[in-house]
Structure 1
Amino acid sequence: MSDLPTTPEKPADEKENQIKSPDLRPGAPPQYSSSFVPGPPGPAIPPPAGYPGGLPMGYYGPHQPSTFPLYMQTGSICPIQYQPGKYPAPQLSAPVIWMPVPTPIPHCPPGLECLAQLDNIHVLQHFEPLEMVTGFETNNRYDIKNNMGQMVYFVTEDTDDYTRNAYRTLRPFVLRVTDCMGQEVMTMQRPFRCTCCCFCCPSTRQEMEVQCPPGVTIGFVAEHWNLCRAVYSLQNEKKEDMMGVLGPCSTYGCGSDSVFEILSLDGVSIIGSITRKWNGVLSAMSDADHFEIHFPLDLDVTMKAMIFGACFLIDFMYFESSPPQRSNIHHD
């Protein structure tokens, strides 16, 4: 019986020059090209306290501290590194650039350092298509930006579904203002006030409390009864009038900007303004409003916060549209 032919053994030096075949074992690392140059390491940010491993990328909780994704942190944008060929890179939305956080300022409530360096801010309400289609009222959300388009704060409404949809524009609410790290720096609370009785009754006038930091009252926004225009007073924590707000006489939001003037205590000098910008069809069909707030740069930061808070009470009272109610018509 003859032996089977065998392949002649190759020299050792020829084996070394031969290209190795890829390792096909499960879990084996891929073969990278020699031209691949690894990028710089990403930022080392610890996971949020109380949440082992952190939250999934692209999610954040406005009521929980330090839960904003990496691309929403303050400063320059660092690309997130992924292992090539192992996992597909996720399609992230456009990065959000935050205003750099200044150093602490003496006699400034924590979290208002950014507000102390600004003389105007933009309040941009999120557009909610679900409200237009279904009529179901959802929690309002707002982006607070400076003139450079940098995010200063993020504001979210914290109201249950029944209260929102039962009381609509009259609903009591809690607004939570968070900074770039997800820390709640300011809270605004509006109690429920019935408007069924006489309009001049004090119990029907709207009011909102502003706290900064949360739990520490810095002032109130109080409505005053007026026959043809919006009138408010900005009060300190002792409910002493500090400034006034005077709205326009014309119909609000009808084809032009609506300007609410911030007046001095004597009602003579104009200190600043809250302007609801007219955005055309979007303003007429939805409640995704755009407000522009102006105040002096050297104004006390607590009064800036009060003007900032007055903007939201104005929005809920005059520009938070409710879907039309269907009326039942009975035919004989």
Structure 2
Amino acid sequence: MSGVVPTAPEQPAGEMENQTKPPDPRPDAPPEYNSHFVPGPPGTAVPPPAGYPGGLPMGYYSPQQPSTFPLYQPVGGTHPVQYQPGKYPVPNQPVPITWMPGPTPMANCPPGLEYLVQLDNIHVLQHFEPLEMVTRFETNNRYDIKNNSDQMVYIVTEDTDDFTRNAYRTLRPFVLRVTDCMGREIMTMQRPFRCTCCCFCCPSARQELEVQCPPGITIGFVAEHWNLCRAVYSIQNEKKENVMRVRGPCSTYGCGSDSVFEVKSLDGVSNIGSIIRKWNGLLSAMADADHFDIHFPLDLDVKMKAMIFGACFLIDFMYFERSPPQRSR
């Protein structure tokens, strides 16, 4: 018995292979649950307890049941959000434009001017065109007309051909088209060409603006008056009869301060309104991006409101429109 060496019990061949073979890192194939599923007998229906939507445990959400934890829904349909809100700007994000609610038509009011009946103050914001500074090519001016609530009232677009704009620059004759939120042209402003080579006191050299509302029906004119010290205009009705006067400052450059053009009665005593060109710092000094504030009484005749509105654009072209510098030969 002492000469017998004890040996380990013999193991099956399959177990020996399991000890010598390294474990397979790949997961096993999922079992076929359908083959092992055996339906049991139907039980009694138990109503879900209170506070558990659809019978699910607390903390779970069913798409068919309302819950205080909504499912994640990607923005824009099936496309997920690519940028974390508040950290990276979303590209190609359109800026929403809020329009002033359209008023109902009014008697004795040209169509489209119902907006001005409700306002006593409007803002004229000119679009900045960086290509003009780079290419020195004069483009059509564009303006946004807004109220005090930053709601869009009108859009004003210049309609002048390329040759006229770049040949005559600030002295060019132009056509301004005023459109509303529906894209309808409700007003047209025309400035004819006036030669400035002759004496300034000559009537043929004075600038003039015609306002039509609706387009094709003239409601008045804005005419320049010669003055040695300041800008003076007269606002006329459709018969070219003077109704109001516009009196500008002695210096219209407005460097570092606002330029105020007062709208007064014919006798110059009553102050009716004002056209203020706001000073916007370096942008006002070097670029074409003017900002005007127009004030008039709330109960003023709506046609006269439109005439004061039109006078703002003639003032802009005459004193604050800056053409791109020309290359010297």
TM-score, normalization by structure 2: 0.74
8 Å contact from structure 2 (residues 175, 190) kept in 1: yes
Per-residue CA distance 1:71-92 (angstroms, 9 max, x = gap): xxxxxxxxxx954249x99833
Which letter does structure 1 place at the counterpart of 2:131? L
Instruction: From the superposition, tell whether residues 163 and 35 of structure 1 become closer, same or farther in structure 2 (CA, over 3 Å).
Output: farther
Alignment partners' CA distance in 2, 1:284 and 1:91:
31
Which residue number in structure 1 is paired with residue 131 of structure 2?
130
Moved over 6 A (4+): 11-14
Whichever of the two has the greater Rg, that structure is 2
Alignment partners' CA distance in 1, 2:92 and 2:201:
55
Alignment partners' CA distance in 1, 2:291 and 2:108:
31
Which residue number in structure 1 is paired with residue 208 of structure 2?
207
- Paired residue total: 262
Instruction: From the superposition, tell whether residues 11 and 254 of structure 1 become closer, same or farther in structure 2 (CA, over 3 Å).
Output: same
Alignment partners' CA distance in 2, 1:107 and 1:12:
86
SS at match of 1:188: strand
Structural mapping, 1:21-60, within 5 Å: 35=63
Alignment partners' CA distance in 2, 1:289 and 1:90:
28
8 Å contact from structure 1 (residues 253, 319) kept in 2: no
Which residue number in structure 1 is paired with residue 78 of structure 2?
84
Alignment partners' CA distance in 2, 1:169 and 1:305:
23
Measured after TM superposition, the shift of residue 326 of structure 1 is: 4.4
Alignment partners' CA distance in 2, 1:12 and 1:313:
88
Per-residue CA distance 1:36-87 (angstroms, 9 max, x = gap): 99xxxxxxxxxxxxxxxxxxxxxxxxxxxxxxxxxxxxxxxxxxx954249x
SS at match of 2:167: helix
Which residue number in structure 1 is paired with residue 309 of structure 2?
308
Across the aligned residues of Structure 1 and Structure 2, the Cα RMSD in angstroms comes to 2.6
Alignment partners' CA distance in 2, 1:245 and 1:135:
33
Which residue number in structure 2 is paired with residue 288 of structure 1?
289
Which residue number in structure 2 is paired with residue 175 of structure 1?
176
Instruction: From the superposition, tell whether residues 126 and 36 of structure 1 become closer, same or farther in structure 2 (CA, over 3 Å).
Output: farther
Instruction: From the superposition, tell whether residues 149 and 320 of structure 1 become closer, same or farther in structure 2 (CA, over 3 Å).
Output: same
Which residue number in structure 2 is paired with residue 107 of structure 1?
108
Alignment partners' CA distance in 1, 2:301 and 2:145:
19
Instruction: From the superposition, tell whether residues 220 and 35 of structure 1 become closer, same or farther in structure 2 (CA, over 3 Å).
Output: same
8 Å contact from structure 1 (residues 119, 295) kept in 2: yes
Instruction: From the superposition, tell whether residues 83 and 241 of structure 1 become closer, same or farther in structure 2 (CA, over 3 Å).
Output: same
Moved more, 144-153 or 91-100: 91-100
Which letter does structure 2 place at the counterpart of 1:142? Y
Which residue number in structure 1 is paired with residue 54 of structure 2?
none
Alignment partners' CA distance in 2, 1:286 and 1:109:
35
8 Å contact from structure 2 (residues 106, 114) kept in 1: yes
8 Å contact from structure 1 (residues 200, 225) kept in 2: yes
Per-residue CA distance 1:113-158 (angstroms, 9 max, x = gap): 1111000100000011011112111100000000110001010000
8 Å contact from structure 2 (residues 252, 319) kept in 1: no
Per-residue CA distance 1:245-279 (angstroms, 9 max, x = gap): 00001242221100000011222211000000000
8 Å contact from structure 2 (residues 136, 326) kept in 1: no
SS at match of 2:312: helix
Alignment partners' CA distance in 1, 2:160 and 2:64:
51
Q: Which blocks of at least 5 consecutive residues in structure 2 are unaligned? A: 1-31, 39-61, 66-74, 83-89
Alignment partners' CA distance in 2, 1:273 and 1:306:
12
Instruction: From the superposition, tell whether residues 85 and 289 of structure 1 become closer, same or farther in structure 2 (CA, over 3 Å).
Output: closer
Structural mapping, 1:256-271, within 5 Å: 256-271=257-272
8 Å contact from structure 2 (residues 219, 238) kept in 1: yes
Which letter does structure 2 place at the counterpart of 1:111? G
Which letter does structure 2 place at the counterpart of 1:293? I
Which residue number in structure 2 is paired with residue 20 of structure 1?
none
Instruction: From the superposition, tell whether residues 324 and 152 of structure 1 become closer, same or farther in structure 2 (CA, over 3 Å).
Output: same
Structural mapping, 1:217-228, within 5 Å: 217-228=218-229
Q: What is the percent sequence identity of the aligned residues?
A: 79
Which letter does structure 1 place at the counterpart of 2:104? T
Measured after TM superposition, the shift of residue 287 of structure 1 is: 1.6
Which letter does structure 1 place at the counterpart of 2:269? V
TM-score, normalization by structure 1: 0.73
Which letter does structure 1 place at the counterpart of 2:262? E
8 Å contact from structure 2 (residues 156, 176) kept in 1: yes
Instruction: From the superposition, tell whether residues 90 and 268 of structure 1 become closer, same or farther in structure 2 (CA, over 3 Å).
Output: same
Which residue number in structure 2 is paired with residue 142 of structure 1?
143
Alignment partners' CA distance in 2, 1:230 and 1:132:
28
Which letter does structure 2 place at the counterpart of 1:291? F
